[in-house]
Amino acid sequence: MPSSPIAIPARRGKAAFIARGESVKVINTHGEQVVDTWAFSRADLTEFMSMEHSRAGIQRLIPTVGDSMLTNHRRPILTLLEDTSGGLHDTLMAACDVYRYHGLGCTEPHDNCTDNLAQSMRDLAIAAPETPSPLNLFMNIPWTTGGVLSFEPPVSTAGSYVVLRAEMDLVIAFSACPQDILPINGVGRQPTEAHFLVG
Amino acid sequence: MPSSPIAIPARRGKAAFIARGESVKVINTHGEQVVDTWAFSRADLTEFMSMEHSRAGIQRLIPTVGDSMLTNHRRPILTLLEDTSGGLHDTLMAACDVYRYHGLGCTEPHDNCTDNLAQSMRDLAIAAPETPSPLNLFMNIPWTTGGVLSFEPPVSTAGSYVVLRAEMDLVIAFSACPQDILPINGVGRQPTEAHFLVG
């Protein structure tokens, strides 16, 4: 039976243990929220979902329904089962971090996805061995034929979602991206909460 | 004065200390050899060239002349000064590793770029803190409008090169990719040596 929806609070992270075979439905509750997503093998946290290994496996810039993301040991870890969001996600961009906001002109501390990953893992009394490049759900980074990239608002709508199946016992970690300088969370630049269901 | 050419032996790695302001000319000696490239801050090896941070900074899938690759602290580490190779390089694919060759059907151990990075650093009596996604010089991974990727032979020619300027004191590490199953090192699938000059 699916769990009740679990909140990923606006600008914050949330992690959970997921058993092999369980599915995680990640809901873009308000429609324009990017959700940085990581997955680590429960048995060995140094094995984790890797964008650079996944791209080599699926031979796509963005996973599509049926694709399995791979770990740094090239094993399937999460399979995309459903996607009602419009299918635009990102595998190219690093999680935002203190350095990113400093470069964008922030002089005060700013919430960021890198710190959110660490905090969400600490809440489970575990530690990420590093900050892998995340699967940025709902994040819209178009590319041109010439390889030029840009940061654009999501195309997802309120309540749209993806479903990911765990291919091993794992820890999943999410961050509701606090980016409010670029329009990556919508032109209103208002980070919001998102939710997930495990079942 | 530039150094004499230093060999990156076929199927092997080679690392060197580079001072801020020095340039490294990486020569595709025989024309079709992919050279996986990493850079680590000499002062703190946990700060290193990051493809996911660089793409966010340069907003391109492939660096072009004038672009600076960034570290995981979003600082410039290597700037592309010259490129006579045709301009096709790769920032998307993980270094090959034992898992890759196992997946490609190898039942015996196979040389691989991940092990070459580690060995080349050990030769300098240092250790890479992790295996960052490499800048794959001369590697031809085209993308379609729909985001489909493929592994293609290089377009570079014998003696063509890139010049990279060090923006901090750093350790540079190269691997002459031993991939001989896919045609990424040319349709002849014959890994070769490459060379670099420091000056």
Give the ipTM of the model, two decimals please.
0.97
Query: Is B61 within 8 Å of A143 when comparing Cβ atoms?
Result: yes
> Which amino acid, B31?
G
Give B134: exposed, middle or buried? Use CB within 10 Å, 0-12, 13-18, 19+. buried
Task: Report d(CA B195, CA B199) in Å as an integer.
Answer: 14
* Total CB pairs under 8 A between chain A and B: 82
Per-residue pLDDT of chain B (199 residues; tens, 9 = 90+): 567 999 999 999 999 999 999 999 999 999 999 999 999 999 999 999 999 999 999 999 999 999 999 999 999 999 999 999 999 999 999 999 999 999 999 999 999 999 999 999 999 999 999 999 999 999 999 999 999 999 999 999 999 999 999 999 999 999 999 999 999 999 999 999 999 999 9
Residues of B in contact with A100 (CB under 8 A): 56, 74
| Helical (H) or strand (E) element with A81 | strand A76-83
Task: Report d(CA B157, CA B159) in Å as an integer.
Answer: 6
Task: Using only the alpha carbons of chain B, give its radius of gyration.
Answer: 15
Q: Give the nearest partner residue to B143 out of A56, A74, A143, using CB atoms.
A: A143
Give A23: exposed, middle or buried? Use CB within 10 Å, 0-12, 13-18, 19+. middle
Give B111: exposed, middle or buried? Use CB within 10 Å, 0-12, 13-18, 19+. buried
- Among residues A131, A129, A60, the alpha carbon closest in space to that of A90 is found at A60
Q: Give the nearest partner residue to B133 out of A52, A143, A149, using CB atoms.
A: A52
Query: Is A74 within 8 Å of B99 when comparing Cβ atoms?
Result: yes
The distance of B176 to chain A (nearest Cα, Å) reads 19
Give the confidence band of A3 by pLDDT, cuts at 50, 70, 90: confident
Q: Give the nearest partner residue to B148 out of A59, A73, A92, using CB atoms.
A: A59
DSSP classification of residue B104? T
Instruction: List, in order, residues 6 or more apart from A94 with CB less than 8 Å away.
Output: A100, A133, A134, B50, B52, B53, B55, B56, B72
Q: Give the nearest partner residue to B55 out of A56, A92, A97, using CB atoms.
A: A92
User: How confident is the model at residue A2, as a pLDDT?
Assistant: 63
Q: Which residues of A touch B (CB under 8 A)?
A: 50-53, 55-56, 59-62, 72-75, 92-94, 97, 99-100, 102-103, 129-131, 133, 143, 145, 147-151
Task: Report d(CA B46, CA B20) in Å as an integer.
Answer: 18
Instruction: List, in order, residues 6 or more apart from B122 with CB less than 8 Å away.
Output: none
The SS3 of residue A143 is strand
State phi, psi for A99 to the nearest 5 degrees.
-65, -35
Residues of A in contact with B52 (CB under 8 A): 51, 92-94, 133
Across A61-80, average pLDDT: 98
pTM of this structure: 0.97
